[in-house]
Every structure is written in structure tokens, then in C-alpha cells.
Amino acid sequence: MKPIFCLSLLLCFASTATHSKVNSKDNAAQQLAVQRSTAEAAHLTTRIQWLKFPQLKYSDADLNGLDRFAIVRVKADESGKVISATVKESTGLKSLDDRLVQAVLKAKTKPAQKNGNAVAMVGYQSFTFNLTKDPADRCQFKFDSKNWIKQQAQQKTPFSYQTQPELDISSEDLNGYDRRVKFSFKADKHGNVKKAKISKGSGRYELDQQVLEAVQNAKVDVPRKYWIYKKSHLKDEIQFKLDECKQ
């Protein structure tokens, strides 16, 4: 019986050693995957794409008599949630800097992609705060896009907005010039907007991002014939003219 018992022990030890090697390989593979993920975790970009642009309401009194400018370093996780915001170039007013940081933390970025995977992102965003030159000249723009205007005039359009998208843009955001933004997006059969992007910008990045956010939050109706194989690919544009701004 002794030889049989010894053989059983040897087989047991061999099985344990093999299982240990497999576990070691699995652990090594997991550690390597973690290392690769960590190495890709901080994608650096000079152009942050926002799903929800930072919103900060301010008055002339907050600027203390001067136009202000700031640059903020932004870090977002794989889901686009902003997890860190640091002022790299100050407005010169700590209270305004602090409010700006809080506004950035409440915003959301479009998740960065690398090798087909969502990764964390680090980028820089500039902000400009201008004094109101004349309160009487300050006015607001609505989302009066080319498609929306035709839609209201009962003209034929490739799609229709279910409701007018919300937009918070004033004459000051144009910085003294008329602006135009062209954009495109895809929509699923439920009317949800997907993959919106700017095809031709206005020259003002902050303005473009606010238009993009309005489009991303919109819902549309598309004639059924467009749903043949894939999401509908749609386009529209919006003009902002200083002489057409409504008080």
C-alpha cells in the first residue's frame, strides 16, 4: 500500500503546483491588464468635448471693473464625469475662480476613446468673462436653426424637432461678430440624438459647445423611410446675427 500512497501524494503535489502556476499566470495577466489600463488612463487633449458645458452666471459686479480670463485644468473619468478641476491661470479674483471650479465640476465631458476603450481624460479649458458694455444692448438668442425656421413655416424638412432646443446665448457671446454654426447628428428610431458633432464652427469654441449641448439634449421626429438600416444621419445649422438679436 505504501507505493500507492506515495504516488497519490506525488499526483496531489503535481496538481497543486500546476494549479499554482495557472493562478500565477492569471494574476500576472490581470496585473498586466491593470498596468496597461493605468498607462492609458490619462489621455491628454487640447480640445475638450463637452456633453454638458460648464455654466457660470455672473454680473459686472463679480468682475470688479475688468474683463476676466481663466484657464482650468480638467480631469474626467472614463464615464465623462469631471473628478478634478484646477485653475492654472487665474481670473485674478479668488471668489470667481472658486465659482468657476464648482461650475466645471458639475459639467460633463464626452468620454475619451483610446484603442476602442473609454479612458480617463486630462485637458485644458479657457473661459472669458466680459463686462456688459451697455445693458440695453444685451439680448438673448433662441435656437432658431435653419431646420427649425422651416419647420415653423410649415415647410418640408428632412426631420423636425419635437420641441425647440434650449439655448442660453447672449449677444456678448458673439464677441462683436455675426456667427454661424453647422452641425450634424444621428438619431435613433425613438428620436434620441446620438453622436452630435460640429461640422463647421463659429470661431468661438464656447459658443460651439453650447450649441452642441442643445442639440444633444434635443429629440426629433424623422419620416419612417429613413429608418431602413441604421440611425438617421441629419444636419442643420444656426446663425446668430447681432442685428436680429431680440431683447
Mean pLDDT for 197-222 is 93
pLDDT grade for 18, boundaries at 50, 70 and 90:
very low
Do 101 and 162 belong together in one domain? no
Check whether 153 has a pLDDT greater than 90: yes
Q: Give the pLDDT confidence score for residue 27 in this predicted structure.
A: 56
Q: How many whole angstroms separate alpha carbon 59 and alpha carbon 106?
A: 20
Predicted local distance difference test score (pLDDT) of residue 1 = 45
Would you state the pLDDT for residue 116? Answer: 84
* pLDDT value of position 230: 53
**What is the model's pLDDT at position 84?**
96
Residue 194 has pLDDT above 50, yes or no: yes
Where residue 14 falls among pLDDT bands split at 50, 70, 90? very low
From 96, 113, 129, give the residue that closes a domain.
129
CATH number at residue 82: 3.30.1150.10
Mean pLDDT over 115-132 rounds to 90
Q: pLDDT exceeding 70 applies to what percent of the chain?
A: 77
pLDDT score of 146:
97
Average pLDDT over residues 134-142: 70
Q: Which of 75, 63, 77, 161 is nearest to 125 (CA)?
A: 75
CA distance 15 to 41: 38
- Structural domain of 105: 43-129
Helix (H, G, I), strand (E, B) or coil at 144: coil
| Residues paired with residue 20 on neighbouring β-strands, in sequence order | none
Q: Is 50 exceeded by the pLDDT of residue 54?
A: yes
Q: Are residues 150 and 207 in the same domain?
A: yes
Average pLDDT over every residue of 11-37: 47
- Same structural domain for residues 173 and 91? no
* β-pairing verdict for 193-200 and 50-52: unpaired
The span from the CA of 238 to the CA of 182, in Å, is: 7
Q: Which of 136-145, 168-177, 202-211 has the highest mean pLDDT?
A: 202-211
| Structural domain includes residue 104 | yes
Assess whether pLDDT exceeds 50 at residue 96: yes
> What 3-state class would DSSP assign to 89?
strand
Same domain for 182 and 86: no
Distance (Å, rounded) from C-alpha 109 to C-alpha 43?
A: 13
Question: Residue 196: its pLDDT value, please?
Answer: 92
Q: How far apart are CA 245 and CA 177, in angstroms?
A: 12
CATH number assigned to the domain comprising residue 145: 3.30.2420
In percent, the amount of the chain with pLDDT more than 90 equals: 54
**Total count of domains within the chain:** 2
- For the cut 80, the answer to whether the pLDDT of residue 118 exceeds it is yes
Which pLDDT does position 175 carry in this prediction? 85
What is the per-residue pLDDT for 231? 60
Q: Are residues 82 and 152 in the same domain?
A: no
Q: Does the residue 27 lie in any domain?
A: no
